[in-house]
Amino acid sequence: MKLRPRALSALLVSAAVAVTAAAGIGATALTAQATPDTAAVHPSAHRAAVAPLATGDDPDGDGYIPAVPQVTGVTPSWNNPPDRYFHEFQANCAVSKTAPDDPIVYAGRPGASHDHTFMGNTGTNAFSTTASLSGGGTACNAVGDLSGYWMPSLYNGSQKILPTGPQVIYYKTGVTDYTSVRPFPKGLRFVVGSPTQTAAEFRGHKGWVEGWECGDSFKNTEFPANCPAGTQLNIRMQSPSCWDGKFLATPDHKAHMAYPVVKPGTNDNVCPAGHPVAVPMVEFKMAFPVSGDMSQVRLSSGSGHSFHYDFFNAWDDRTLNAMVEHCIKGGLQCNARGYDETHPAAGAVLGPDYRLP
């Protein structure tokens, strides 16, 4: 395979790691390590300077994973379909594990990341590939959702606080023409936000909803000082929903995705020309069972404004396509079965066992 400059750089870094290891220095000299038992904070994790490794999905190790086939000949839709208030469905996914792994940013490097709380696929680890996730199990209600979802772990002092029960992960339209939304291609992966973002960058992020909230306190970039007893700490954040149609992954884990832009002279949201393919917008809506004095609450990645999350699509293609067609393109507000209680005549996508009939 012809070596492009970016691939050569990755090979040079890999060679440097090999030389360092041979000299007896050890991997920890080059890679920040996170130990979940000590709840260590590693602000260096996720930096774009981290060189990709050759992995199952990226055999040449350049960080680019081409889509096969690529989606070409698409222009962003400027259509205005009939107005519907909702166009969404839920993926209700529980926590499956915690680990200092990140198969997107630190693919093939177990223990290299700050600690993450994983939801969805039960086998997600540093070596996860599209094939391994597709052959795994799931902690999501929908049996066909084998995707990996993860975020920095939250601690209260030294105690790790895990969300209880299935968490709400919305799949919505991010563009005005909800009928133009396509299912994610298998293997698409990206990162939303960054552990190194500033408080201002977090608040100004295009995926910002209302920040950290509990009780009557909301729109916080940092954790509230106190949350009423018995309440939960909540966070919502939205992903980009426009894809370039070319790559399932890029070295910075973001360049292949973009947020919609406003169509000139209107309030309509449309995909930009460089990212013309409308895909679902993934919205995390997390709830952590912690209240009272919040002075010791922190993320494994740092303070509250370092919140971010990762998504690695491994849905069963037929199931995801059916949910997108029925709920998003159908203008419905669906639960995890693809059923809208306000439109019962529309029926459900999945059976009582959450499987596609």
DSSP string, 92-145: EE-EEEEES--TTTTTT-TT-SPPEEEEEBTT--TT--HHHHHTS-BSBSSTT-
161 forms beta bridges with: 154
Nearest to 257 by CA among 209, 327, 193, 203: 193
Q: What is the pLDDT of residue 19?
A: 34
Predicted pLDDT at 53: 86
pLDDT at 15: 39
pLDDT of residue 34: 34
Please give the pLDDT value at position 17. Answer: 35
Write out the H or E segment, with its range, that includes residue 5: helix 5-22
Looking at residue 148, its pLDDT comes to 98
Q: What is the pLDDT of residue 93?
A: 98
Residues of the chain with pLDDT under 70: 1-49
| Its pTM surpasses 0.85 | yes
Q: Are 311 and 351 in contact (CB under 8 A)?
A: no
Is there a contact between 144 and 315 (Cβ–Cβ < 8 Å)? yes
